[in-house]
Amino acid sequence: MSMIIDQILTTLETHLTEKLQTDITPTDATYVDVVKIGRFQENPKRNNVHVAITHGDPENPEWVDRIAYGDQSSKVQFHVPSREIGGGEAWWRKGIVDFGVYYLNNVAEGTARQNAYELFGRIQANISNCTVSHLTDTYNEHAFMLFLAGSEIAPTGGGGKWIWRGKVHWQCLTFKE
């Protein structure tokens, strides 16, 4: 066993690998070449569609885990006691799925945009339907559910080299006894 955060990341990686690679024909332009935990540090010319799953957001130091009660940074609100007499506390464990779509030759701008948005939608849908409720860590923290908490996508590049980058923020409600 390991800490709940690593279990959530591993479950997301397994689920997204299935939905973005296994279930997609490798010749499909939205097939994801790399799904991994951690930052994407490979050559996008060889792996032109990638997904990287991280705890927190390396580009936003405000996107950190917090006690669930009264957390104004959370995009999903519940009235949950943050701590109970006798033990226990609810947490928002937070992370992102960062992605890139690099079409560096012979793809029309409109096609690149459509493919990027198809992947963007597929990532969001599959974060939402990823089950984590079976996870319990060594420290008796239980995961309940993943929630989408924000997303962004933007084009970069141009002149026949169409690059789309984006990220989807997620948060997972957990309870520690």
Q: Given the DSSP bridges, would you call strands 89-103 and 49-55 parallel, antiparallel or unpaired?
A: antiparallel
Please give the domain boundaries of the chain with CATH numbers for all domains.
Answer: 4-176 (3.30.2000.30)
Distance, CA of 80 to CA of 90 (rounded, Å) = 7
Phi, psi of 8 (to 5 degrees): -65, -45
* Residue 88: per-residue pLDDT: 79
Give the CA dihedral 61, 66, 69, 71, nearest 10 degrees.
0
User: What is the DSSP code (8-state) at residue 122?
Assistant: H
pTM: predicted TM-score of the whole model, two decimal places = 0.90
**Mean pLDDT, each 10-residue run in order, the chain (177 residues):** 93 98 94 95 85 96 87 55 67 96 88 96 98 96 96 90 95 92
* Residue 75: per-residue pLDDT: 54
Dihedral sign, Cα of residue 62, residue 68, residue 71, residue 76: positive
CA angle 46, 50, 53 (to 5 degrees): 140
* Residue 46: per-residue pLDDT: 81
Residue 67 carries which side chain, given as an amino acid letter? Answer: I
